[in-house]
Amino acid sequence: MTQVIDFQTDPSKYRHWRVDFDGDVATVTMDVDENGGLFEGYQLKLNSYDLGVDIELADVVQRMRFEHPEVKVVVMKSGKDKVFCAGANIRMLGGAAHAHKVNFCKFTNETRNTFEAAEADSGQKWIAAVKGACAGGGYELALACNHIMLVDDSASAVSLPEVPLLAVLPGTGGLTRVTDKRKVRRDRADIFCSIEEGVKGKRAQEWKLVDEVIPTSKFDETVEARAKEFAAASTKATGKGIALNPLQKSVSASGIAYSLVDVAFDREGRKATITLSGPDGAAASSMDEVVAQGDHGYMLRLARELDDAILHLRLNEMELGLLVFRTQGDPELLAAHEALLTANKDHWLANEILQYWKRLLKRIDVTSRSMVALVEHGSCYAGVLAELLWSVDRSYMMEDEFEGDNRPIATVTLSETNFGQYPMGNGLTRLETRFLDEADTIEMLKGKIGEALEAAEADEAGLVTMILDDIDWDDEIRIFMEERASYSPDAMTGLEANIRFAGPETMETRIFGRLTAWQNWIFNRPNATGADGALQRYGTGVRGDYNMQRV
């Protein structure tokens, strides 16, 4: 039986990370248990990591935002001698299925993006304190931090040795961050990414691969001083954190049930239907009440449950190629819950919940599945949930009354948040991406904020793909779903990835675009993954057998 990967964890279960708090500074120590791999067949030596290590790190990052808002600076360091992190475990990569490798890279990208964005989103700055070898994915961990400090000794170096050693590329944005974020000159970047030993000392700082190089005798005290300096300069909103308790869910052969999210599997139809419930009570009257609700508050609870469901589907249900989104609930009630947060953006918890929704919607954007939204009677596509209508590939909306269906008529309701609160990876809103070069359309839609738009109005405004009456609904939806399930998954992934990300290219879209295209392709090539490829021969002393044709 295939092992089910669970993305839920908590500090009592960590095997690979330690977290220490000292006022407004926290220290996150990577100390990987080499016998704690997610699967059998490899050891996580030299602080190398697999998906299990990254699941814990994602939990650390999330709790840092919600449970410890007092933390203004986070220092990431190693608990091992002579090594910061050796990167993704090579034996794991060599033995993993292709789909697992790609989804692993995608999740690690999202985790790094989260702590990289913590300074801009929440005022929480991350420092990488690098001692020892910092190679491949280890340097990518450091690259995602806001400030890199490297000890100046004879052994400590940063490197991206994937090309010369493994015939693959840095899988979590390394190349892109070197050029786009660190602004390393392209010829120097070419040298850096072509040598196994990496770059150390003053040259690493001169080439902008790190921010500071400090002698061994002064390293620890300088890191501590820098953290305190950054914390003192921070204007981060703080308060008393809330606990993120374990999600209550039930997983069965037919689906997953949460309190607000229901996922139904249709294996024969190769699809999963995700039904999101609207609020089960009135919105809080103040942010003090939201804090008191903790992780049980509607907006946070829904986000956590949907996030977990998407990750479960990505890694555990890879043959369910179509995700069908449905909502049921009161759109006005949903809008009130969201409005309380947007009216209090300067409150730390309101900000964190809104930023979490931004990250979650981006995660849905880059999920390699066909996606459709059904706007049925009784649905609550308002504000943040309306964003799903422009994340998916198509949306279908019920028009007029359906015989025997006495639910409230289907509507779509725009809110102010649809015009800037939840940008995509390209820096635009989903509406701006949908209506590229149509500024007049965006202005027209702003004039409809708060209106419950029925099918004809939503269709005229361009907010849904197609509206259908009760005569055509069942047949049209069935035909679409059967058609989608019949196409090649490889072709669909390529099609969707090209179409979804219109508009400007950013560091983030370049990272995910390269992952989908180039790394996906390279992971399938015999030079890397074949029986005599570099991943299989790594550590044997024998170089991979390469087909030398350029294609």
Residue 50's domain is classified under what CATH number?
3.90.226.10
63 shares its domain with 187: yes
298 shares its domain with 191: no
Strand, helix or coil for residue 288: helix
185 shares its domain with 307: no
DSSP per residue, 125-158? EEEEEE-SEEETHHHHHHHHSSEEEEEESSS-EE
Q: Identify the domain boundary among 231, 258, 277.
A: 231
DSSP per residue, 520-544? HHHTTSHHHHSTTSHHHHTTTT---
Name residues of the chain where pLDDT drops below 70.
1, 515-516
Q: Identify the domain boundary among 197, 231, 265.
A: 231
DSSP H helix total and E strand total for the chain:
24, 22
204 shares its domain with 307: no
Q: How many domains is the chain partitioned into structurally?
A: 2
How far is CA 399 from its chain centroid? 35
CA proximity to 88, closest of 32, 128, 129: 32
291 shares its domain with 182: no
Is 221 among the domain residues?
yes
414 shares its domain with 299: yes
**Is the CB of residue 254 less than 8 Å from the CB of residue 262?**
no
18 shares its domain with 108: yes
CA proximity to 317, closest of 261, 371, 263: 263
The pLDDT, as a whole number, for residue 525 is 87
What are 214's strand-pairing partners? 151
The pLDDT, as a whole number, for residue 93 is 86
How far apart are the C-alpha atoms of 404 and 401, rounded to whole Å?
A: 9
219 shares its domain with 256: no
**Is the CB of residue 528 less than 8 Å from the CB of residue 518?**
no
The pLDDT, as a whole number, for residue 513 is 79
Is 520 among the domain residues?
no
76 shares its domain with 35: yes
346 shares its domain with 267: yes
How far apart are the C-alpha atoms of 131 and 215, rounded to whole Å?
A: 11
Is 241 among the domain residues?
no
**Residue 470 CB partners (closer than 8 Å, separation 6+):** 398, 400, 401, 402, 403, 405
Q: Identify the domain boundary among 231, 260, 279.
A: 231
The pLDDT, as a whole number, for residue 1 is 43
388 shares its domain with 258: yes
Is 415 among the domain residues?
yes
Note down the domain range covering 353: 250-490
211 shares its domain with 264: no
The pLDDT, as a whole number, for residue 516 is 66
Is 305 among the domain residues?
yes
